[in-house]
Amino acid sequence: MASVRAVLIDIDGVLTVSWAPLPRAVAALREVREAGFGVALVTNTTSRTRASIAAVLEGAGFPVRAEDILTAPAVTASYLADHCPGARCTLLNSGDIAEDLAGVTLVGGEAEDVDVVVLGGAGPEFGYTALNHAFGHLQRGARLVAMHRNLYWRTEDGLQLDAGAFLAGLERAARTEAEVTGKPSPAFFEAALARLGVGADEALMVGDDIESDVLAAQRAGLTGVLVKTGKYLPETHRSASGTPDHVIESFADLPALLGASAQQ
């Protein structure tokens, strides 16, 4: 492994499940920080703002600040500002993330003049009426921007369906392809690396989603580390489109991996 200076870490399924810390995750993150590695928490979570995520994690004992967190909504706001300036956007998402979408003009799904349909994370809001409104806007020429393609995530109640399942249906029905802003988009990893001030060959990505977290990071030039927690399933590991650089049982094993790599 190349000399690593920074670590990108997924939150849900790696550090926490349903926002409760996984065993020894808090201590492991402290070790990583105390060893001098740069840290960025990179998440496709769309139900909370960066500030609220930081508050929950700090309350659980994790040594993090809002500045350490890069979310799909925050990256989406930057993407829309760069690629769709002034666009009227309708957001289909579960949770209040308006704070992280500062500068984006949001209108209701029933509005007639919509330039961009923005898909966040799934929840009760993803009913037939809302999805049909989105489908209508796409038929009339609106662009489709998705914060991620996650099919499911792990909660204390087991795996739960996420927005990627609905996204696939909208793309096929409207004969369009979404512009994806969160993981696995290369731009998402580039934004995290820029924030840390390191090159791709100086960073590793730790995630529980082999495709969107680990292999996507490897394609962007980072070292990929898969953890066997969260949404990890042996069958998705076996059928994946590539091979992770490293596989560890949990985030608690990361300090040892980093220490071993530093001695190589």
Instruction: Answer whether residue 58 is part of any domain.
Output: no
Task: Specify whether 173 is located in the same domain as 93.
Answer: yes
The residue among 178, 202, 223 that closes a domain is: 178
pLDDT at 128: 97
pLDDT at 154: 82
Task: Specify whether 251 is located in the same domain as 193.
Answer: yes
Task: Name the band, by pLDDT with cuts 50, 70 and 90, for residue 112.
Answer: confident
- C-alpha to C-alpha distance for 256 and 64, rounded to whole angstroms: 21
pLDDT digits (tens, 9 = 90+) for 18-39: 999 999 999 999 999 999 999 9
pLDDT digits (tens, 9 = 90+) for 128-187: 999 999 999 999 999 999 999 989 988 888 989 999 999 999 999 999 999 999 999 998
pLDDT at 153: 84
Task: Specify whether 113 is located in the same domain as 100.
Answer: yes
Percentages (nearest 5) of helix, strand, coil residues in the chain: 40, 20, 40
Name the amino acid, one letter, at 194: A
Instruction: Answer whether residue 31 is part of any domain.
Output: yes
Task: Specify whether 165 is located in the same domain as 199.
Answer: no
pLDDT at 89: 97
Q: Among 65, 64, 60, 183, which Cα is nearest to 121's?
A: 183
How far does the chain reach from its first CA to its final CA, in angstroms?
8
pLDDT at 71: 92
Task: Specify whether 154 is located in the same domain as 222.
Answer: no
Preceding amide of 184 cis, omega within 30: yes
Instruction: Answer whether residue 216 is part of any domain.
Output: yes
Instruction: Answer whether residue 243 is part of any domain.
Output: yes
Q: Is 216 exposed, middle or buried (0-12, 13-18, 19+ CB in 10 A)?
A: buried
pLDDT at 262: 46
pLDDT digits (tens, 9 = 90+) for 244-261: 999 999 999 999 999 954
Mean pLDDT of the chain: 93
Phi/psi for 256 (5° steps) reads -65, -40
Cα four-point dihedral sign 121, 247, 219, 205: positive
pLDDT at 264: 41
Task: Specify whether 166 is located in the same domain as 137.
Answer: yes
Percentage, residues of the chain above pLDDT 90 = 85
For the entire predicted model, the pTM comes to 0.82
Residue 1: pLDDT above 70? no
Instruction: Answer whether residue 49 is part of any domain.
Output: no
| CATH assignment of the domain containing 225 | 3.40.50.1000
- C-alpha to C-alpha distance for 117 and 186, rounded to whole angstroms: 21
CB atoms within 10 A of CB 127: 10
The residue among 178, 195, 219 that closes a domain is: 178
Stretch 188-200: mean pLDDT: 94
Task: Specify whether 87 is located in the same domain as 173.
Answer: yes
pLDDT at 102: 86
pLDDT at 3: 85
Task: Specify whether 152 is located in the same domain as 110.
Answer: yes
Task: Specify whether 246 is located in the same domain as 202.
Answer: yes
- C-alpha to C-alpha distance for 56 and 51, rounded to whole angstroms: 9
How many structural domains compose the chain?
2
Instruction: Answer whether residue 72 is part of any domain.
Output: no
The answer to whether residues 68 and 41 touch, using CB atoms and an 8 Å cutoff, is: yes
The residue among 128, 150, 178 that closes a domain is: 178
Stretch 104-118: mean pLDDT: 94
Percentage, residues of the chain above pLDDT 70 = 97
What count of Cα atoms within 13 Å lies in the side-chain half-sphere of residue 22? Answer: 23
Give the structural domain span for 104: 82-178
Instruction: Answer whether residue 63 is part of any domain.
Output: no
- For residues 198-213, one letter each, b for 16 or more C-beta atoms within 10 angstroms of the residue's C-beta and e for the rest, the string is bebebbbbbbbbbbbb
Strand partners for 16: 12, 21
Task: Name the band, by pLDDT with cuts 50, 70 and 90, for residue 263.
Answer: very low
Task: Specify whether 88 is located in the same domain as 172.
Answer: yes
The 38-43 sheet, strands edge to edge: 69-71, 38-43, 6-9, 203-207, 223-227, 246-248
Task: Specify whether 145 is located in the same domain as 225.
Answer: no
Task: Specify whether 246 is located in the same domain as 189.
Answer: yes
pLDDT at 133: 97
Which secondary structure element, helix H or strand E, spans residue 207, and what is its range?
strand 203-207
pLDDT digits (tens, 9 = 90+) for 82-97: 999 999 999 999 988 8
Q: Among 153, 259, 155, 191, which Cα is nearest to 8's?
A: 191
Instruction: Answer whether residue 241 is part of any domain.
Output: yes
